[in-house]
């Protein structure tokens, strides 16, 4: 079960002596809803007592006015959780709370994933701390609390636990008095720091700073720990950083209005679309995006190819992401609930559909059928990233390799299965060029199978097929 519980999440924290911190974490989590819709939680403290509220569902559903009133105090952390598992376990909602003693607790919110939990599990086993039913984030909380119980400050405890965090992590931890933010040495997931009056904010993405009127200060550096308490803010570089941001943040996951590594996510996506049009010439009458994530790429594609853009598929914004549902038939039905093509726009036209990625191939098959049923004369599919052939171990829920369509089907077979007249991917080189950052600063593992943080025993799950070199 644990291997299914890989999650990619949104985390947010506020420390400010004049703030009602939970009142700011709440809208922050709202802005990060795209990073997780399974559950949400906030832990807050007034300097003396740590209180929390967490539960399944969207931010809009989890907190009542009463809950927010009870979450008093000037420091708070929060998390939206996203999981691949069909069975939702309330017990896995975050922040995870651990009681240290009658007076002291800690709370932890994690974005990322430890592909191998062997090292941390062995440590806890040796200390006779039960790991039964615990996932990676639970174990991280257990080891931190072990060191806090040994009379270490929260930051010291995190520093001592650090060698056991064998994977990708952005964490926000708090006790009654302070918040500690930390990022793994590769900075696989994004995490930034903002300032609001004299207070400090941490957020997975800068779009969440904007929503509360905070100013972007900088990103938490890979390998860095940042402590905020009544004395102010201080940085501890725990290990040497080697930035490798997951490229999928730019391709799909992050919000377009976020800035990551100094780059506008929206601008990058437009560039991906432009580059795609430079690499492939297709005759068409109309460019339509798969909403919402492919909109900037479709605009870029249209501008470069001079083929008119029109949002010909309408999205019901109140049905959330299909990826969560693991059974294929449920996913199919949700696509129809969520998307509806406008027949009067598509009829008798050569339609170029732009999407950001193909993972399993299920969603785009449905969308292409919709476009055909809507009366399109021909349908061409342009993908603004290369084929995804390798699973993710760092916190995105891309499934195991067997489910990734490009890992077991040829280009032609994928086009046939999806039902398009032609299918084109952005090249690997074109992707790097359009992003405008050195390849060495990115984690490209979903395209290359090269994992910058050791994936331990999970490497046995990876196959390199000779045909991969061809596309």
What is the contact surface with ligand AMP in residues (CB under 6 A)?
252, 290, 293, 321, 323, 355-364, 396-398
Q: Is 9 a catalytic residue?
A: yes
Report how far apart, in Å, the C-alpha atoms of 415 and of each of 179, 402, 406, 419, 448 are. Answer: 50, 18, 11, 6, 21
Contact 86, 92 (CB under 8 A): no
Between β-strands 422-425 and 378-383, what pairing exists: parallel, antiparallel or unpaired? parallel
By beta-carbon proximity to ligand AMP, the closer residue of 25 and 265 is 265
| Smaller CB separation from ligand AMP, 63 or 253 | 253
Looking at the Cβ atoms of 12 and 252, the one nearer to ligand AMP is: 252
Q: How far is the CB of 82 from ligand AMP (least distance, A)?
A: 8
* Of 122 and 410, CB closest to ligand AMP: 410
Task: Provide the CA 432 distance to its chain's centre, in angstroms.
Answer: 20
Nearer to ligand AMP by Cβ, of 50 and 364: the residue is 364
CB of 250 to ligand AMP, least distance (A): 12
User: CA-CA distances (angstroms) from residue 348 to 256, 285, 320?
Assistant: 32, 10, 31
Q: Shortest gap between Cβ of 468 and ligand AMP (angstroms)?
A: 18
Nearer of residues 139 and 358 to ligand AMP, judged by Cβ:
358
Neighbours of 260 (CB within 10 A): 21
Cβ proximity to ligand AMP: between 167 and 223 the closer is 167
CB 104 within 8 A of CB 203: no
Residue nearer to ligand AMP on the CB measure, 42 or 324: 324
- Tell me which residue has tokens 């793994």: 184
CB of 396 to ligand AMP, least distance (A): 4
Closest CB 182 distance from ligand AMP, rounded Å: 23
Tell me how far, at minimum, the Cβ of 399 lies from ligand AMP, in Å.
8
HEC-encoded secondary structure of the chain: CHHHCCECCEEEEEECCCCCHHHHHHHHHHHCHHHCCCEEEEEEECCCCEEEEEEECCHHHHCCHHHHHHCCCCEEEEEEECECCCCCCHHHCCCEEEECCCCCEEEEEEEEECCCCHHHHHHHHHCCCCCCCCCHHHHHHHHHHHHHHCCCCHHHHHHHHHHHCCCEEEEEEECCCCEEEEECCCCCCCCEEEEECCEEEEECCCHHHHHCCCEEEEECCCCEEEEEECCEEEEEECCCCCCCEEHHHHHHHCCCCCEECCEEHHHHHHHHHHHHHHHCCCCCCEEEECCCCCHHHHHHHHHHHCCCECCCEEECCCCCCHHHCCCHHHHHHHHHHHEEECHHHHCCCEEEEEECCCCCCHHHHHHHHHHHHCCCCEEEEEECCCCCCCCCCCCCCCCCHHHCHHHHCCHHHHHHHHCCCEEEECCHHHHHHHHCCCHHHEECHHHHCCCCCCCHHHHHHCCCCHHHHCC
**Exactly one of 9, 170, 192, 446 is catalytic; which is it?**
9
Task: State the nearest-atom distance from the C-beta of 388 to ligand AMP, in Å.
Answer: 8
Q: How far is the CB of 364 from ligand AMP (least distance, A)?
A: 6
Question: Distance (Å, rounded) from C-alpha 180 to C-alpha 158?
Answer: 9
CB of 446 to ligand AMP, least distance (A): 9
Give me the active site residues, please. Answer: 9
């Amino acid at each position: 079960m644990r291997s299914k519980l890989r999650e990619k999440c949104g985390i947010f924290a506020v420390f400010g002596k004049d703030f009602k911190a939970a009142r700011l974490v709440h809208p922050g989590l709202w802005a990060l809803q795209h990073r997780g819709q399974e559950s949400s939680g906030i832990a807050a403290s007034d300097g003396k007592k740590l209180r929390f509220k967490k539960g399944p569902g969207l931010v809009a559903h989890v907190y009542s006015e009463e809950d927010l009133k009870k979450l008093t105090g000037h420091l708070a952390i929060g998390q939206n959780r996203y999981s691949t598992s069909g069975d939702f376990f309330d017990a896995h909602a975050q922040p995870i709370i651990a009681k240290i003693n009658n007076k002291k607790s800690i709370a932890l919110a994690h974005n990322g994933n430890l592909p191998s939990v062997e090292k941390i599990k062995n440590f806890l086993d040796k200390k006779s701390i039960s790991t039964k039913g615990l996932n990676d984030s639970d174990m991280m909380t257990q080891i931190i609390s072990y060191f806090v119980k040994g009379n270490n400050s929260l930051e010291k405890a995190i520093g001592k636990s650090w060698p056991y965090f064998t994977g990708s992590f952005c964490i926000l931890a708090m006790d009654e008095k302070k918040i500690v933010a930390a990022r793994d040495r590769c900075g696989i997931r994004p995490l930034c720091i903002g300032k609001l009056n004299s207070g400090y904010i941490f957020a997975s993405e800068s779009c969440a700073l904007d929503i509360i009127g905070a100013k972007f200060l900088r990103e938490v550096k890979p390998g860095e720990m940042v402590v905020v308490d009544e004395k102010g803010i201080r940085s501890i570089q725990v290990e040497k950083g080697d930035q490798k941001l997951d490229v999928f943040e730019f391709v799909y996951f992050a919000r377009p209005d976020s800035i990551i590594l100094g780059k506008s996510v929206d601008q990058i996506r437009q560039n991906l679309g432009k580059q795609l049009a430079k690499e492939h010439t297709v005759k068409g009458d109309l460019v339509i995006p798969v909403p919402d994530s492919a909109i900037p790429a479709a605009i870029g594609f249209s501008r470069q190819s001079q083929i008119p853009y029109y949002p010909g598929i309408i999205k019901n914004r109140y049905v959330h992401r299909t990826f969560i549902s693991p059974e294929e038939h449920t996913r199919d039905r949700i696509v129809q609930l969520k998307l509806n093509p406008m027949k009067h726009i598509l009829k008798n036209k050569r339609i170029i559909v732009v999407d950001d990625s193909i993972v399993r191939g299920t969603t785009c098959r449905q969308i292409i059928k919709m476009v055909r049923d809507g009366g399109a004369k021909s349908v061409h599919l342009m993908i603004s990233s290369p084929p995804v052939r390798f699973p993710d171990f760092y916190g995105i829920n891309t499934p195991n390799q067997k489910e990734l369509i490009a890992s077991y089907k040829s280009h032609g077979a994928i086009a046939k299965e999806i039902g398009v007249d032609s299918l084109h991917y952005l090249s690997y080189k074109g992707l790097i060029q359009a992003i405008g950052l050195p390849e060495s600063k990115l984690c490209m593992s979903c395209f290359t199978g090269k994992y910058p943080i050791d994936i331990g025993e999970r490497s046995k799950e990876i196959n390199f097929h000779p045909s991969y070199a061809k596309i």
